[in-house]
A and B are shown apart, each in its own frame.
Chain A
Amino acid sequence: MAWTHALATAAPLPPVVPVEGGAAGAAWLLVALPALGALVLFVGGRRTDRWGHLLGVGTVVAAFVYGVVLFLGTVALPAEEQVRDLPLYDWIAVASLNVELGLRLDPLSLSFVLLITGVGSLIHIYSVGYMSHDPNRRKFFAQLNLFVAAMLVLVLGNGFVTLYLGWEGVGLASYLLIGFYTQRRSAGSAAKKAFLMNRVGDVGLAIAIFILFLELGTTQYADVFARAGEISPGALTAITLLLLLGACGKSGQFPLQAWLPDAMEGPTPVSALIHAATMVTAGVYLIARSNPLYDLAPIGQLVVTIVGAITLLIGAIIGCAYDDIKKVLAYSTVSQIGYMMLAVGLGPVGYAAALAHLFTHGFFKAGLFLGAGSVMHGMADETDMRRYGGLWRHMPVTFWTFTLGYLALIGFPFLSGYFTKDLIIEAALTAGPVAGWLLGGAALLAAGLTAFYMTRLMLMTFFGEERWRDLRPRRVDPADLEDPPEHYHPHESAASMTVPMILLAIGSVGAGAFLVLGERLADFLEPSIGPTVEPYDVPAVFYVGLVPYLATALMLVGAGIAYLVVGRRTVPVERPQRVSLPVRAARADLYANTINESVIARPGLWLSRALVYVDNRGVDGAVNGIAALLGGTSGRLRRSQTGFVRTYALTILGGSVVLVAALLTVGGFPG
């Protein structure tokens, strides 16, 4: 088993040193800047309409600049001083419990800071153009700023409770932004669903925190990780599984994946930032952060890899069946986070691979979503790819940037995804004799599926006939307000939108090589996640050097099949109804919603209704009955209040007499 030999090589993490002045002393500004932006926009309301978006962009860009300063400052430190702690104040202190609010500045958290504020800045800038016609743009920026602040708390927190603060904070921001188009009923349902499924995960995270408190009496990272060895093995397994539950909720992993595709109800920049690049990767962050716990809990790690493998397959299979461009990308996200989850469950052989994929995915998936948004912007908010076609000549910048993101995602040689996905597949092959085949096989198979569904998406959107020519745009939602235009007028988007797309495309091309070649990222993250084990150095089910060739071959097969099935035929505008069973299953999200509905939602509703009956007839009925017995008929209970109060006064008097009499006479109560 990979984790057993990996365990032997895991070295203790460097000690945590306190921050002493300098640029890092004010690291709380990272959070405070976007939080302040959100506060001003929420409280200022409509008065800030004219400049609110600028404040939103400005605070996040400022946080990014400061993040770069902190990052460079950390790189310059010797490795054993790179994990730093900035305590702010005692947040919840009762008896022996002391939950401290503070920041942990280390390579892992600062990498995330750059991702969140960097991609966040680009998406904020993009949103200025994308949301320019929305009367509630200011509110949008307020909520987006709130998200950035909460996400920074999540990754910068120096303990599990601080993490929980950010964790539920991003859940709130996600809830608000999914439901941003409040007039749509579907948006409200999707937002609620997302929050609820996240809260199921949060229960896991909360109980994991309780067990940590029980075992160690503390929930701060520094203490927990230093004393991880004191936790009993059973408790460690429980903690790791419960943390995984939390991760599944936040990251849309099996069995809590069903909310993420619905979350596409939110504006597209939200899908790019929250539901592709940052928030949904928080589960991977959580497990990578808790690596000292997982390294000691082989069962926990095994389950993480299984969840990852199942999810990456589910996402890839369903992604093949959808016609809605955002939903395909959403399931692609589910699948890609499955890859990260798989890798992060493999221990030291996979941590760096998972995080490398997380960062490159952040670039190319955000770029793909922004591209999809640009397409929608030019196509009257239409998301059905069957109504697209031949768009490449109408929106060239969108097309080319999207193509680079597409190639990066399917693992086209030497683009970002090629390096990082291969790392994960290689690591999976070292998982042991049986697990290596199963996990590695799943990861390889999904690589082919990824190429299929993404090529299908490309072909349906940018190539083929211009199917929109003969169609009239339709209202996206029955409750939408503006009448759609007479015709589709696909056009390139404004510079505020295309420039972020171009920058993300550059990242899609180069980030993988930059992070992976020379083990740059792995070396940098070593103080946080320990030394990385090379897949080449440990036994694998077959020679890992074959992986790049195999993955590339499978990618070509997947893309080729897509070309044969979609590219060479005319795409029907109406969705074909008579399809094979697997396609029907995939269209129905592999029945995840049906299962949730029939196992949880409907029985829950029945139970609640039954309880209402019990409450009215049983509990209350019994009480009313007794009251009627005591006070005569229930009709007499409702006698006029003056009469009643007179009775009451008499009762009090009578009671007092009895009381005094009792006090004066009774003497022999058993004492």
Chain B
Amino acid sequence: MSAVLLVLLLLPLVGAAVVGAMARREDLDRAAKILGLALSAVSLVLVIVLWAGFRTGPGTPRFQAELSVAWIPAFGTRFALGLDGIALTMIALLAVLVPIVLWFAWAEKLPAGRTGAGFTALMLSTQGVLVGVFAATDVFLFYVLFEAMLIPMYFLIGRFGGPRRQYAAVKFFLYSFLGGLIMLASVIGLFVASDTRLGEGTFDWAALQGMAAQLPLSTQIPLFLGFFAAFAIKAPLVPFHTWLPDAGAEAPIAGGVILLGLLDKVGTFGFLRYNLPLFPAASRELAPLLLTLAVIGVVYGSLLAAVQTDMKRFVAYTSIAHFGFIALGIFAFSSQSIAGSALYMVNHGISTAMLFLVVGLLIRRGGTASMTEYGGVGRVAPLLAGMFLIAGLSTIALPGTNSFISEFLVLLGAFPREPVFSVIATVGIVFAALYMLWVFQRVMTGPLRGSAVVGDGPGAASAAVMTSASDGDADDPSARNLTARFGDLTRGEVAVLTPLVALILVLGFFPGPVLEVLEPAVSATMAEVGVVDPVTPNGVAR
């Protein structure tokens, strides 16, 4: 299994190099894109193999598919990989999303001078580095990969993004880099502490976990905050979030899916893998503060999402609200809430990916992300509107969709110990319905209107708003013309979205297999933090 994991890490990186080399020749562009897709498909198969071989249940080790080779002996860092349930689900999500976005990007129009091969290469390198980030069991390796992950995403935004892509890319970069530097201080601190306490310095996660958990609270807190800074920016939690709407709005759709769906999860993954187990006392001490940030994020993100007029920024703000839910579950310290958060990371990846892709398909037709340029799209593109609705319902955690399970687990699990935070966040479900249905109403329903729909084709600036009553019935010839020009989803586009729709529904009714994989890591994390589930008032242990 460890060989499979190693291949999963290296294959996209090698592929990126090859595809990147092919990007120099225009006639190889198509071949490069096909190669990229094929490699991402192979990654998906490898992940399925890993998943099938992953053992769950009592007595199984937390980390599986482990592998460790000496890397820089001078300060005891090793190239060490291993998967627990949380890392495995994140890597699985990655393997599902990459082929989908590559397929989606196939038909995207790129900025002048950019090639599909170049794009594919950046995407593959992101995938490879992200596998490493999730699989690293050496803290130094994790840090290096955490920083390295910025580079391809920086280029994805800065080269392939929207009009303000330079600004957004630099902002993204500075935020993340700053957070990373602060984390670096903590990483060094850990090493030094291990040197003092264990007699030799190490970056091994398991060794550090055993050591760091014994550190006094006064030492744990600064170290905790160092990691927290990096992860809170990455996740992002309010008030470290302002890079995300810019990055989300300027990123190309396919890049944005990876950014919002996966890259950000490194933040919450980091909370679970580093903050909680390494600094349990600090985690418990600081939890009230972090829970406060979390519920502020839920309400703040939702309210801001409700008043956005740019669809991509809108999706970014909904994500900020959802990261609030995830952080709530993590710092509420119960089996249900932490499992809920880990599952939420997967589900948010799926539903946000779907939502962002649908927005992308809409922009492909209308030429703009501005909501005010659309109206009544459901009349000319009913399939597109239906897909938007499915993504939206998953985003607002309607029961029967995947997100319900995770949101329910987070809120229910948080309630016994943190009733106030849980109740405030529960009120957030009303805000969620508000922002999502409002956007759906403005963009998808009502009479046909907006220059992007009834203007002169994609990007038409002429504000030919149709208000006359005679427009658009499915049988009305003018509506048929518009349908033909604006265009409903093509077969290929439906095919891109279908796996996500299937995941949304299947995980909504059958989350069991994923929860089973997550459970050992969750209970291990609970033990490392030193908390047990609260007991009912009637003395019945749950």
Contacts and interface: CB of A to CB of B under 8 A. Distances in A.
Contacts of A235: 537
Interface stretch (B94-102, B126-134, B264-272, B439-447): B439-447
A192 B422 contact: no
B538 interface: yes
A215 B307 contact: no
Q: Which of B219, B379, B426 has the most chain A CB atoms closer than 10 A to its own CB?
A: B426
Nearest to B175: A623
A196 B434 contact: yes
Interface in A169-218: 169, 172, 175, 179, 182-185, 187-189, 191-192, 195-196, 199-200, 202-203, 206-207, 209-211, 213-217
A217 B540 contact: yes
Contact of B399 (A168, A187, A207, A631): A168
Given A91-B509, A164-B399, A135 B540 contact: no
Contact of A641 (B169, B307, B509): B169
A165 B401 CA distance: 10
B536 interface: yes
Contacts of A612: 304, 307
Interface in B134-153: 147
B192 interface: yes
Interface in B395-433: 398-400, 405, 408-409, 411-413, 415-416, 419, 422-423, 426-427, 429-430, 433
A207 B423 contact: yes
Nearest to A189: B441
Contact of A210 (B171, B422, B438): B422
A669 B193 contact: yes
Interface string A588-612: 0000000000000000110111011
B170 A94 contact: no
B158 A611 contact: no
A564 interface: no
B538 A230 contact: yes
Given A196-B437, A479-B469, A619-B242, A185 B181 contact: no
B188 interface: yes
B200 interface: no
A195 B398 CA distance: 11
B169 to A, nearest CB: 7
Contact of B379 (A167, A183, A196, A605): A183
Nearest to A230: B538
A96 B542 contact: yes
A572 interface: no
A662 interface: yes
B316 to A, nearest CB: 12
Contacts of B445: 179, 182, 185, 187-188
Contacts of B519: 94-95
Contacts of B174: 627, 630-631, 637
B447 A183 contact: yes
A203 B430 contact: yes
B54 interface: no
Interface in B49-75: 74-75
A481 B166 contact: no
Interface string A18-55: 00000000000000000000000010010000000000
B379 A182 contact: yes
B474 A671 contact: no
B148 to A, nearest CB: 9
A214 B411 contact: no
Given A627-B174, A662-B188, A669-B196, A185 B446 contact: yes
Given A217-B536, A615-B242, A663-B188, A96 B169 contact: no
B297 interface: no
B372 interface: no
B472 A183 contact: yes
B2 interface: no
Q: How large, as a class, is the contact surface on chain B?
A: 35 or more
Interface string A617-657: 00110010001001100000110010011001001100100
Interface in A349-383: none
B437 A192 contact: yes
B523 interface: yes
A34 to B, nearest CB: 14
B184 interface: yes
A165 B400 contact: yes
Contact of A135 (B170, B241, B340, B474): B474
B388 interface: no
A432 B296 CA distance: 46
Interface in B495-542: 509, 511-512, 515, 519, 522-523, 533-534, 536-538, 540-542
B542 A97 contact: yes
A168 B393 CA distance: 11
A611 B423 contact: no
B79 interface: no
Contact of A667 (B167, B195, B238): B195
Contacts of B192: 663, 666-667, 669, 671
B441 A644 contact: no
A605 B537 contact: no
Interface string B379-395: 10001001000000100
B541 A96 contact: yes
Contacts of A604: 303
B225 to A, nearest CB: 16
Interface in A111-169: 135-136, 161, 164-165, 167-169
B433 A195 contact: yes
Contacts of A91: 509, 511-512
B411 to A, nearest CB: 7
Contacts of A584: none
B232 to A, nearest CB: 13
A182 B378 contact: yes
B5 to A, nearest CB: 26
Contacts of A101: 509
Contact of A214 (B188, B196, B415, B475): B415
B173 interface: yes
A586 B393 CA distance: 36
Nearest to A163: B399
Contacts of A666: 188, 192
A135 B473 contact: yes
Contacts of A289: none
Contacts of A576: none
A94 B515 contact: yes
A96 B413 CA distance: 11
Interface string B305-316: 011000000000
A198 B258 CA distance: 34
A206 B405 CA distance: 13
A666 B429 CA distance: 50
Given A175-B437, A188-B441, A662-B188, 9 more contacts: A93-B515, A94-B340, A136-B474, A199-B430, A631-B174, A660-B75, A669-B189, A669-B192, A671-B219
10 contacts: A95-B339, A96-B335, A136-B474, A168-B400, A192-B437, A196-B430, A216-B536, A615-B304, A664-B74, A671-B219
Interface of B: 74-75, 147, 154, 158-159, 166-167, 169-171, 173-175, 177, 181, 184, 188-189, 191-193, 195-197, 201, 215, 219, 238-239, 241-243, 300, 303-304, 306-307, 335-336, 339-340, 376, 378-379, 383, 386, 393, 398-400, 405, 408-409, 411-413, 415-416, 419, 422-423, 426-427, 429-430, 433-434, 437-438, 441, 444-447, 469-470, 472-476, 509, 511-512, 515, 519, 522-523, 533-534, 536-538, 540-542
Which 3 pairs between the two chains have the least Cβ-Cβ distance?
A96-B542, A95-B335, A669-B192
Interface of A: 42, 45, 89-97, 101, 135-136, 161, 164-165, 167-169, 172, 175, 179, 182-185, 187-189, 191-192, 195-196, 199-200, 202-203, 206-207, 209-211, 213-217, 230, 232, 235, 475, 478-481, 604-605, 607-609, 611-612, 615, 619-620, 623, 627, 630-631, 637-638, 641, 644-645, 648, 651-652, 655, 659-660, 662-664, 666-671
